[in-house]
Structure 1
Amino acid sequence: MVSSEKVGQRIATLRRTKGLSQEQLAQQLHVSTQAVSKWETGKSLPETATLPLLSAALSHSIDSILLPQELVVLSAIYTDGRQELDVTHFVNQFVTSNRLSLIAGDQVFPQSLAGDRLKLLLVTYETPAGIYSTYVLKDQLLVIDVHSTGYVSGGNELQILEANYGNEQANRSVLQKMKHYEHFRWNSFTASHELFPSLIDNEDNDYLLLVYLNGHGIHAISCAEGEQIHYSPDRASLCQSDPADRQCIVEGISRLGFGRGMDCSWAGAMTLSLAARGIETTYERVMGYSGACWRAAFEPVWDYSSADALVVYDYSVPACTAYGIHAIQANRLEPQQRAAEKLAILEDIRAGRLPIAINLRVAPEWGVITGYLEDGLTLLCRSYFDDETFEALEADSEFQMYMEVSKGFLHVDHWPYKIIRLGEQTMLPSALDNLYASLRIKLDSMHMESEGNSCYTAGYKALEVWSEGLLDHQWYAAAEDEAYSRRLSVNHFCMMALADARRSAAAYLQESLPLVQDPRELTALSEMAGVYAEMAALLEDFYKNLADPAVVRKTGASPRLSWTARQREKQAELLTLVASLERRGDTLAETVLGITED
């Protein structure tokens, strides 16, 4: 007896297996979407005249649709990873007494696949226990019954089930190698003898064949030696790359890293981006033009983000103005907005305009996007965390081969939550105008108040809050070692940022002296340069003598012995002195700007 409910369930399952929506199936059958919905919910059965069309659309006999068995093959694909034949209807004919038994091969199926690639049969089937997938290579026996349990689709990322390198006549499993390469989270890989050694007696073509499972079932893909396979952006599927090199990499971009005299990651990335397009500048000039050399910020709960140059004041705007560049910012884009932004990024890279962005790799620091592979599927970058990766994988031959492809750049791991694209360069302000603008930013940023719900303090308030935190002896006495160590690390990072900023301020002011012609302004600017040189020396000397948190962790030393109350008191005294020197700097800046009489 025909059960409309079971028939409806079978139609819905077969439709989804085919990847069809109700609307698409309805169009093929020349019926309404409502009709398909009624079938699938068991409210009605298909008209007799519609059954042949339904059978053809779902690749199943009319009997298997109307009289569902306990074992049914939902999908059977004979493939070499490049070509494929849908043999679902044919394979279902081998199901007898709820058992399937056949040898997959060209002699069994009504059609064959040409070529010397390794071939296999992918099968998705349903039993009373659920829906499963399995596969067999050519000439292997496939046996399935109602008790068989295969692979179950699901998961956010694909699972590689089989990996072979070679051809139909001679091949070997390279599944363990693929598992090894997955550890590196590569976005793509090339079929080559270096990655997948060929059999010594094989003189014919070699192919990489991968069988994988994802949320949509079981799949196979293959590529010839020298071709590439890449992951989709969500790592849920694999695709073959176009043999043509659809990539653009801007070479010759210097390394980034802390401790190289460019400890403001935003300014470091900005400097590399400007240099890549032939704009002559220096890191210290970027810090000066932008006003980031005057920055002071602190978060009362002691967070590393306090050292981010743009956390309380957007210094990128005056920087772009100083270099005559129109900038486009994209902040915290929704997923549906990212495709359009990526196209704009690729266009900028092709024009040699390298975007800068935060949170490209490892942690939220700024870096520069240097190129792309596979039409933008993979973005490349320089970040402040590259060195540790290069050091860890220095002896890894597969990594070194990937570096040849990427021209020595690492790939972007995260979609950045802030991107600054640097557009065309127009008329530049004069260097003197940029100096005056920078000094006005100094006066503005040192006296600014936190805006809205911002938890960050800036300028003099930041120095005050920082000092108060250093002198909160009760907190340090009660803190657990983990919290104590974290505060030590945050303090070290913030001191590095402050020392770097004031060193840059001193260098920028000294460089700017020839710009000023008025004797009174020149005297004030010269004294200001001296004030910041003194401040930079004090901060640098203190910073060099701070306990390095990395060394403390490595040696297992107590953070309490590495950072004592007396040391914190001395730092608070230093920050008070810095505030005093800053106020003298304010007075001198006002003189240069002609704001007050001195």
Structure 2
Amino acid sequence: MISSEQVGKRIARLRKEKHMSQEQLAEQLNVSAQAVSKWETGKSLPETSSLPLLSSLLGHSIDSILLPQKLVVLSAVYTDGQAAYDVTHFVNQLIVGNRLNLVVNKLTFPESIKSDRLKLLLLKYETPSGVYATYVFNDDLLTIDLHSTGYASSPSELDIVFAAYGNEQANRNVLNKIKHYEFFQWKQLTASHKLFPSLIDNNGNDYLLLLYLNEEGIHAVSCAEGEQIHYTPDRTRLFRTESPHEHCIVEGVGRLGFGRGMDCSWAGALLLSLTARGVDTTYEQIMGVSGACWRIAFTAMWDYSSTDALVAYNYSDPAFNAYGLTAIWANNLNPEERRLEKHNILESIRNHQLPIAINLRVAPEWGVITGYLDAGGTLLCRSYFDDETFEKLRNDPEFLEYMKVSKGYLNVDNWPYMLVRIGNQENIPSALDNLYASFRIRVDSMNTAGNGDYSLGYRAFEVWQDGLLDDAWYKNASDKDFARRLGVNHFCMMGLTDARRSAAAYLQESLPLLGNRPGYTALSELAELYAQIAALLAGYYNCMTDPASVKSDISRQLWTREQREQQAKLLQTVAALELRGEALAQAVLQH
């Protein structure tokens, strides 16, 4: 039988748990405040039509309101001290015969918390003997019945009942230290190894977790190492101050994209990273000192990856050596290694040492990580595929609002399978030493047979020409395969044209380095030679139709046998000029 008095008491209790006045509840239910008052004093029951919304607002089922059990969970919050989910309604459904048995873990609740912090369930419940609070950590059993007496509310200053320092994998109880520090009436506590020594076997992040009681119930608050937890002036609540580590965005990092004069995505990403930290350099210099400006790679499988600067030869180490930098690689990490590496990435960003990585968005090209939000929960970046997104969403109000938060950067979508963090700059070689190193790379890379399925240097020219002249393949290929090969060809021509343009610019810029030395004549001739190669390639490439702008079913019309033969002759001519360039490069090295 429904007791209007018990129903009224239950509504009043649950309303107060939600910190609502009678007037506020009445407004949301579209009833009068007097009606709510009558419910709570037991003079009347809510109308049937009001019950579904009342149930939703109070977070309890209709049965729990109309047929209240002697044991009721007033509030249940699953939390790690930062993120929190209200699971009151869910937990109440597990009460059977005025008894609650619950094992807490990541599979228990509809919502999960993805962090390495300690996770727990905070509970406030009512029995005939009073209102109590308790807590239970992940993987522990919670049992409550009518005889359970947990923590009573604290009507004056807050009472810290548990404290831990560490993380979900390794932590220690530091409640005694907290009680000691309370003697000094500090206004805040700093999560540091000085106040809370870390466990020697803890290789992860450290967090300070505090559980405390006040007159409202039990609460949890957590902060990361270096952050602070503050007391309110009346010392009845604790709150975490937002750390400068919560969000960190390096503003003003330029855009990436093909057709912007930096068609080698690795060199483009590295340029943005270096300029963000104040290194005075250019894309052409990076291509030059790394040796990537001499690069040509090709695979008989005809794959877009042929243009990846590092797929077949190590141009990366020479680049970092040329700028006096150390590179820390993090490739093909497992989930645990990723979690630890994330900490290093955030630290690098805070130092304006932006990591570069491949496959951040859309497809496997290089980009640069420019910042983070939500304490690293969201990474931001520049990639070679941003323009399409910006164009597609340029009139989307929600997107434009988010751009204000992210400072114009897009989110990282994928964990990269190759990532480079760049250390401090020291022992920078001279520009002349870098020029000589670049020439040695040129001679070596052009005469290296290849790496795996990829041919390099002069051999790459031959493989590419053979593929262009394989008439049987083009005759028998499906439209889909034909269109794909056309796309790869266009992409590879773009990469080769960009590389040789960069070589010509780098050589021209390097002329003053030799002064009147005997090698100056050879260097000057080499600069003119690569200007000629760059002009030949650009003249052909600029007349090519971009396959992305047309339908694949007309690919055969765009790429005729005559055109392929013409391109093969061009590559043969360029390869011959490259041989002349090698002799000149050797001449410079000899002087």
Same fold by TM-score greater than 0.5: yes
Q: Residue type matched to 1:321 in 2?
A: N
Q: Which amino acid aligns with 1:435?
A: L
CA distance in structure 1 between the partners assigned to 2:574 and 2:328 by the alignment = 35
Matches within 5 A, 1:251-266: 251-266=251-266
CA distance in 2, matches of 1:107, 1:80: 17
Structure 1 CA distance, aligned partners of 2:240 and 2:373?
11
Cα separation, partners in 2 of 1:101 and 1:270, compared to 1, 3 Å: closer
1:415 aligns with 2:415: yes
1:269 matched to which residue of 2? 269
2:321 match: secondary structure? helix
C-alpha displacement at 1:106, in angstroms?
A: 11
1:402 maps to which residue? 402
Structure 1 contact 80–120 (Cα < 8 Å) conserved: no
In the alignment, structure 1 residue 102 sits paired with structure 2 residue 70? no
Match of 2:135?
none
Give the letter aligned to residue 458 of structure 1: L
Instruction: Render the CA deviation track for 1:304-325: whole Å, top value 9, x for unaligned.
Output: 0000011111111000000000
Shift of the alpha carbon at 1:547? 1.7
Question: In structure 2, which of residues 519, 522, 541 is the aligned counterpart of residue 521 of structure 1?
Answer: 519
- Residue 578 of structure 2: aligned partner: 582
d(CA) in 1 for partners of 2:377, 2:321: 32
Pairwise mapping of residues 146-157 of structure 1 onto structure 2 (< 5 A)?
Answer: none
Q: For residues 312 and 429 of structure 2, what CA distance do their matches in structure 1 show? A: 25
Other-structure match for 1:356: 356
- In structure 2, the CA distance between the partners of 1:518 and 1:375, relative to structure 1 (3 Å rule), is same
Q: CA deviation at 1:471?
A: 0.3
1:250 equivalenced with 2:250 (yes/no):
yes
Paired residue for 1:295? 295
CA deviations on 1:209-261 (whole Å, 9 max, x unpaired) are xxxxxxxxxxxxxxxxxxxxxxxxxxxxxxxx977261110000000000000
- Once the two structures are TM-superposed, the CA of residue 586 in structure 1 deviates from its matched residue by 0.2
How far has the Cα of 1:517 moved from its partner?
A: 2.7
Report what 2:560 is aligned to: 564
| Shift of residue 588, structure 1, vs aligned partner | 0.0
TM-score (norm 1): 0.61
Using the alignment, how far apart are the partners of 2:534 and 2:545 within structure 1? 19
Partner residue in 2 for 1:172: none
Deviation at 1:450, TM superposition (A): 2.4
**CA–CA distance in 1 between the matches of 2:248 and 2:535?**
43
Give the 3 Å change call, closer, same or farther, for CA 312–79 of structure 1 in structure 2: farther
Give the counterpart letter for 1:268 in structure 2.
G
Alpha carbons 1:552, 1:562 under 8 Å: kept: no
2:103 aligned residue: none
Query: Aligned to 2:89, what secondary structure does the other structure show?
Result: strand
Q: CA deviation at 1:79?
A: 12
Shift of 1:520: 2.6
Contact 1:257/1:387 (8 A) holds in 2: yes
- Offset at 1:546? 1.1
The structure-2 alpha-carbon separation of the partners of 1:583 and 1:376, relative to structure 1 and needing over 3 Å to count, comes to same
Query: Which residues of 2 match residues 380-459 of structure 1 at below 5 A?
Result: 380-451=380-451, 454-459=452-457
Q: Is the 8 A contact 1:495 1:543 kept in 2?
A: yes
In the alignment, which residue of structure 2 is the partner of 1:122? 90
Distance 1:304 1:155, change over 3 A: farther
Q: Give the direction of change, closer, same or farther, for the CA distance of 1:256–1:126 in structure 2 (3 Å limit).
A: same
Superposed counterparts of 1:210-229, under 5 Å: none
Task: Tell me which amino acid in the other structure corresponds to 1:570.
Answer: Q
Say if 1:242 and 1:570 are closer, same or farther in 2 by CA, change over 3 A. Answer: farther
Instruction: Provide TM-score, normalisation by structure 2.
Output: 0.62
2: distance between equivalents of 1:157 and 1:82?
23
SS in structure 1 of the partner of residue 550 of structure 2: helix
Look up the SS of the partner of 1:372 in the other structure: strand
SS class of match (1:293)? helix
Distance 2:86 2:365 in 1: 46
Give how far 1:551 is off. 1.4
1:351, 1:526 → 2: CA distance? 41
2:138 aligns with none
Mapped to 1, the partners of 2:95 and 2:337 lie a distance apart of 39
Give distance in 1, aligned partners of 2:17 and 2:263: 49
Whether contact under 8 Å (1:287, 1:501) holds in the other structure is yes
Instruction: Report the Cα distance in structure 1 between the residues aligned to 2:362 and 2:16, rounded to whole angstroms.
Output: 38
Q: Secondary structure at the match of 2:518?
A: helix
The Cα shift of 1:112 comes to: 3.9
Shift in CA distance, 101/390, structure 1 to aligned 2, threshold 3 Å: closer
Does the Cα contact within 8 Å between 2:354 and 2:370 map onto a contact in 1? yes
1:467·1:575 contact (CA, 8 Å) conserved in 2? yes
Select 2:480's aligned residue among 477, 482, 489.
Answer: 482
Contact 1:258-1:384 within 8 A present in 2 as well: yes
* 2:396 counterpart letter in structure 1: D
Q: 1:540 aligns with which of 538, 541, 551?
A: 538
Aligned to 1:121, what secondary structure does the other structure show?
Answer: helix
2:491 equivalent among 493, 497, 502: 493
Q: 1:113, CA displacement in angstroms? A: 5.3
Alignment gaps of 5+ in structure 2: 1-13, 20-60, 77-84, 97-107, 115-238
> Match of 2:505, as an amino acid?
A
Q: Percent identity over the alignment?
A: 57
The 2-side partners of 1:582 and 1:508 are apart by 16
Q: How far 1:341 sits from its partner (Å)?
A: 1.1
118 and 564 in structure 1: CA distance in 2 versus 1, 3 angstrom threshold: same
Distance 1:580 1:331 in 2: 38
Matched AA of 2:366 = W
For residues 477 and 347 of structure 1, the distance between their equivalents in structure 2, rounded to whole angstroms, comes to 55
Distance 1:374 1:81, change over 3 A: farther
Is it true that 1:340 corresponds to 2:340 in the alignment?
A: yes
Aligned-partner Cα distance in 2 for 1:420–1:364 = 15
RMSD: 3.3
Q: Secondary structure of 2:453's partner? A: coil
How many equivalent residue pairs?
Answer: 393
- The corresponding residue for 1:93 is none
